[in-house]
Amino acid sequence: MSNEFRELLKRVGSGTHTSKNLTRAEAATATRMMLLQEATPAQIGAFAIAHRIKRPTPEELAGMLDAFDRLGSKLEINPNHEYKPVVLGNPYDGRSRTVPVTIITALILAAAKIPVIMHGGDCMPTKYGIPLIEIWQQLGVDFRRFNLAQAQSVYNQSQIGFIYLPQHFPSAYNFVPFREQIGKRPPFATAELVWCPVAGDASLVAGFVHPPTEERFRQTFKIRDTADFTLVKGLEGSCDLSRSRTGIIAMSKSGNCFERLLLNPSDYSLNGSDIALESKAQAIALIKEVVQGNNSELFPAAILNGGFYLWRFGIASTLEAGFSKAEAILTQGKVAAKLSQLQTICTDNPIASTDVVPS
């Protein structure tokens, strides 16, 4: 048993009237001790539930992210890339209710020369939804194979990167059984949405569900001097804008300020129903149709999301131009070509003899 961790646990787990918030440094210490399992399983489970009930403060989230930065691997910025990389932060436990377009968005951005980095693991509690890594695999791109050097090489060549927990952040991967045993998302699930696995300046995008989370993220960014962010009230907490409701988006501006954008898809004739996720096979088939430039039922969602992010990151001067640009990139085969390039690059990167590929 760790007496040091027990004192931190007592701070957050003493109840409504007597519990106290941790400092940034204390939260970093607690996170490190849980991820490295220097605390006992009983202590870790108790802390995760107590902290969830209390809700992490921005100071505590900053400390958790400090620990993530120390323990997790990061990709290096490629100076040959024309644009600043974009990090798409999505819930690690995937999607279970709606068909995602996140990977299509990534391919659209990369086809427009904007580097994109994603991160996550395999099918994970508590949602057990389809994770991004599995969608990539079904598209013929198996990021699970690569050690960090190989992932860096793929990113440098394709402008698409993936930090995969079992390979690149094993302490976070080893924490997954605790997530399953407590049956609820721990505060780590909040912090990982806004973790930046890039060593250098990047544009951070993260989804959220509840409005207080957005405010908490913005306060955390101030503490950590995160100057370039986009927060989206997305489908299932992802970066995907919904076609069925007005998108609520917070975007950073200079001087530690932000602006609110309310994006109504009906203003651009892109409104409609979000496609229900019936099965993994159905989702993959729809994604493949859009990647090939076919006007399937998922196509408008790809235009909405791709166009917004093209505008957000300076490729298009207006939202209307962004939507037109996204449609052109898809119908002209540029997304299909980007995926084909990525498939070739990944095939040309053999597994090193020292690599460990999880089963």
CATH code for position 58: 1.20.970.10
Whether 43 is in a domain gets the answer yes
| Residue 82: how many other CB atoms lie within 10 Å | 10
Largest CA distance in the chain: 62
**Do 224 and 202 fall into the same domain?**
yes
Paired tokens of 122: 């395999």
The CATH number assigned to the domain holding 235 equals: 3.40.1030.10
- For residue 87, the SS3 value is strand
Same domain (yes/no): 331, 227: yes
Answer yes or no: are the C-beta atoms of 17 and 24 closer than 8 Å: no
In this structure, are residues 276 and 98 in contact, taking their beta carbons and an 8 Å threshold? yes
Q: Are residues 36 and 100 in the same domain?
A: no
Report residue 26 as tokens. 């204390």
User: For 256-307, how does the pLDDT look when each residue is reduced to its tens digit (9 = 90+)?
Assistant: 789 999 999 999 999 999 999 999 999 999 999 999 999 999 999 999 999 9
pLDDT at 355 over 70: no
**Which of 8, 163, 192 minimizes the C-alpha distance to 89?**
192
Q: Could you tell me the pTM of the whole model? A: 0.95
- Distance between CA atoms of 113 and 158, rounded to whole angstroms? 9
List, for residues 221-238, the tens digit of each pLDDT value: 999 999 999 999 999 999
pLDDT for the residue 350: 66
**Ordered DSSP codes for 139-203:** TT--GGG--HHHHHHHHHHHSEEEEEHHHH-HHHHTTHHHHHHH-S--THHHHGGG---EES--E
Q: Tell me: do 296 and 153 sit in the same domain.
A: yes
Average pLDDT of span 175-189? 94
Quick one: pLDDT at residue 349?
A: 74
291, 339 in Cβ contact below 8 A? yes
CA distance 187 to 54: 10
Please state the domain count of the chain: 2
Q: Do 99 and 154 belong to one domain?
A: yes
- Residue at which a domain ends, from 71, 106, 131: 71
Output the six-digit token pair for 186: 């721990």
Categorize the per-residue pLDDT at 136 as very low, low, confident or very high, splitting at 50, 70 and 90.
very high
In-domain check, residue 60: yes
Domain residues for the domain of 90 are 80-345
Work out the average pLDDT over 130-148. Answer: 97
What per-residue confidence (pLDDT) applies to 254?
80
